[in-house]
């Protein structure tokens, strides 16, 4: 983790998984980030960043998105420039949702999922979702702004049984 004085500044979240077996419908996992102007766990997000979107100020972007898990390297990548977020934002929660287009799927149904949270070359967290096998979505990281304005990282894997559309409203309850 970064120096305690400096806090976390710029983070990359990567996600990869193995493609579905031949003949099966594809697995589609999505990275989602929710920003909050309150530390209250029940508050709604100010905005969400997910497939096909980015933050209004360009500080959170989805750099790569896969719908099948095919290819080399990471399937999805999200960059969070926390040090550029306006002072009104106090919390950012990052999660993963499994699209349910082809029937209900949980993390137990996905082959070799792996999420990493990186600051530069430093790995802050690594998750394989083994702790939430029956979940269809999960929060994986939370960043909070402390009283000095520095961002702190908290690894927080919590599973949800919900559809991707409802997941955004539940993310802040971590």
What the block records as the tokens of 39 is 């530390």
Per-residue pLDDT tens digits for 65-106: 555 545 656 678 999 999 999 999 999 999 999 988 878 999
Per-residue pLDDT tens digits for 120-169: 999 999 999 999 999 999 999 999 999 999 999 999 899 999 988 889 88
Alpha carbon distances (Å) from 2 to 69, 100, 122: 31, 37, 9
Q: What CA dihedral angle connects 114, 122, 120 and 112, to 10 degrees?
A: -10
> In whole angstroms, what is the distance from residue 48 CA to residue 14 CA?
17
> In whole angstroms, what is the distance from residue 39 CA to residue 143 CA?
11
Mean pLDDT of 39-51: 85
> In whole angstroms, what is the distance from residue 77 CA to residue 96 CA?
12
Look at 50 and 74; give whichever has higher pLDDT. Answer: 50
Alpha carbon distances (Å) from 129 to 13, 148, 154, 155: 15, 33, 16, 13
Mean pLDDT of 46-57: 86
What the block records as the tokens of 134 is 């029956």
């Amino acid at each position: 983790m970064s120096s305690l004085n400096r806090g976390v500044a710029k983070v990359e979240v990567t996600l990869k998984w193995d493609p579905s077996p031949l003949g099966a419908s594809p697995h589609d996992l999505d990275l989602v980030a929710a920003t909050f102007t309150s530390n209250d766990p029940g508050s709604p997000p100010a905005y969400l960043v997910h497939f096909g979107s980015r933050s209004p100020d360009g500080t959170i972007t989805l750099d790569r998105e896969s719908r099948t898990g095919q290819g080399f390297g990471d399937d999805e990548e999200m960059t969070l420039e926390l040090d550029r977020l306006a002072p009104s934002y106090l919390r950012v929660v990052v999660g993963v949702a499994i699209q349910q287009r082809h029937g209900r799927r949980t993390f137990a149904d996905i082959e070799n999922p792996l999420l990493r949270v990186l600051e530069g070359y430093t790995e802050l967290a690594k998750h394989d979702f083994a702790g939430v096998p029956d979940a269809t979505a999960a929060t994986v990281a939370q960043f909070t702004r402390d009283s000095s304005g520095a961002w702190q990282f908290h690894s927080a894997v919590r599973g949800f049984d919900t559809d991707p559309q409802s997941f955004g409203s539940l993310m802040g309850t971590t």
